[in-house]
A and B are shown apart, each in its own frame.
Chain A
């Protein structure tokens, strides 16, 4: 884990602490689907970043697949202005 940063060099640049960054990394870690089973306190940020990138890529792929699927399904049924207004009012 990249915690060997010398504080003296950092303090002039910004007030963001290592702890804040570690906190964010552990939150990201919790979002990731694969590592949810084993709760390990020590997480390597490099691994978390790699898993995050893979996860975002898989989410993008899923959005694309869903768009293709919806494109087929919605070809037959159009959404007109009235129906859209009704849907919106149902959601108010």
Chain B
């Protein structure tokens, strides 16, 4: 296996490939001690799918300018991460659904998803139908608390209603940041946010390693 790889490297004349090989081993080693061994599998899945997207970028590099290419790289990274989650989470499905809305991005998405594409396009319609219900139970609180004007309780009530308003406001902001967040109730939103942050961290980690490896190989 090792000789085959070194021959291929020689033929391709690309030291970047060698760096990839090294850094995939680094992924194995460093993640070993972590409690969540799931994150290294996630990163591997992500990288596999991302490479598919990057291939498309590089095959049409002549037509793309700098900005378009960076957008395509970002898109393939996002779609690759969403697809690496097997579209089990709501945010990943929403991300891919949004990407499919742009015609120019469809090719990348289709290639990254591969066989999952058919499955997803059918099930995404179903999930969109169910996600129409909006969580409105939090709005009841405000109108009821303002009626109580007892002296001792007034301050406490005011403080808690301010806190609730703040929470509500910030939840709205969070809904705008997490893909597909608008139609989630607070509980699901929090769960999705947790997962989304972990995935973003993994995505950034892999992208950083690739960038560092490419820099090293480019300036040798």
Contact = CB atoms under 8 A, between A and B. Distances in A.
A45 B211 CA distance: 36
Decide if the interface of chain B is mainly helix, strand, loop or mixed.
helix
Contacts, number: 158
Interface stretch (B14-22, B93-101, B102-110, B124-132): B14-22
Contacts of A62: 204
Contacts of B113: none
Interface in A38-86: 44-46, 49-50, 52-53, 55-57, 59-60, 62-64, 66-84, 86
Given A45-B167, A57-B177, A66 B190 contact: no
B146 interface: no
Contacts of B164: 2
A76 B217 CA distance: 11
A28 interface: yes
Nearest to B17: A83
Interface residues of B, number: 65
Interface string B46-60: 011001101101110
A36 interface: no
A10 B140 CA distance: 10
Nearest to B214: A73
Contacts of B79: none
A4 B161 CA distance: 9
B174 interface: yes
A46 B170 contact: yes
A5 interface: yes
A82 B12 contact: yes
A84 B187 contact: no
Contact of A44 (B48, B52, B66, B163): B163
6 contacts: A2-B160, A28-B194, A66-B204, A71-B73, A78-B59, A87-B17
Interface of A: 1-2, 4-5, 9-10, 13-14, 16, 20-21, 24-25, 27-28, 31, 44-46, 49-50, 52-53, 55-57, 59-60, 62-64, 66-84, 86-88, 90-91
